[in-house]
Copies of this chain bind each other. A is one copy, B any other.
Amino acid sequence: MARAGLTPERLVAAAAELADEAGLAQVTASAVARRFDVKAASLYSHIGGTDDLRTGVALLALREMADRVAEALAGRSGRDALAAFAGAYRDYARAHPGRYEAARLPLDHETAMASAGVRHSQLARAVLRGYDIAEPDQTHAVRLLGSVFHGYISLEAATGFSHTPVDSDTSWQWTLDRLDALLRSGSAG
């Protein structure tokens, strides 16, 4: 019988597609095996198991997001950079909800340190260079940016902010304006 050509990379890529289509919970060894017309047991020479698959999706998502954010940020500063930064995350989450979900999985310290997660905080600091904020406020501000955007994106994904007549895009712009103002007054401490 012809071989399916399984590799860790292809398995993780399939897992990522599955996550986006059906949710991270549907990413299982069985489901991924089905995508390759292969028995579930065949995956175990390539990956450790279901957890490995999900962690793989998380690492992939962190890399892809960092790439997109970096590209969005190129040549921008100030409010422009802030909007590009936030927009890149939001767009990614909407295009790849399962991957985004995976990116929030807890990673052990070692894996986290070797992941693209590190680039994310560097990118946030790049945005803040447009705002003249010194340490330790800069660290506070990095956390604030992460919190606001991750929070907004995940609440938007869960509820769609659909219970009121106010448009979510309008709230998003409003939030960016206010955050920009907040950071601009940031050097005051």
Contacts and interface: CB of A to CB of B under 8 A. Distances in A.
- Judged by DSSP, the binding face of A is helix
B150 A154 contact: yes
Interface in A142-171: 143-144, 146-152, 154-155, 158-159, 161, 163-164, 166, 168, 170-171
A7 interface: no
Q: Copy number of this protein in the oligomer?
A: 2
A113 B148 CA distance: 25
A155 B147 contact: yes
A33 B93 CA distance: 37
Given A159-B112, A181-B182, A182-B181, A139 B166 contact: yes
B182 A178 contact: yes
Given A139-B171, A140-B171, A152 B147 contact: yes
Given A152-B151, A170-B140, A104 B175 contact: no
A139 to B, nearest CB: 4
Interface residues of A, number: 39
A166 B113 CA distance: 17
A150 B139 contact: no
A175 B136 contact: no
Contacts of A164: 139
Contacts of A140: 166, 170-171, 174-175
Contact of A151 (B150, B166, B177, B186): B150
Contact of A178 (B112, B121, B151, B189): B189
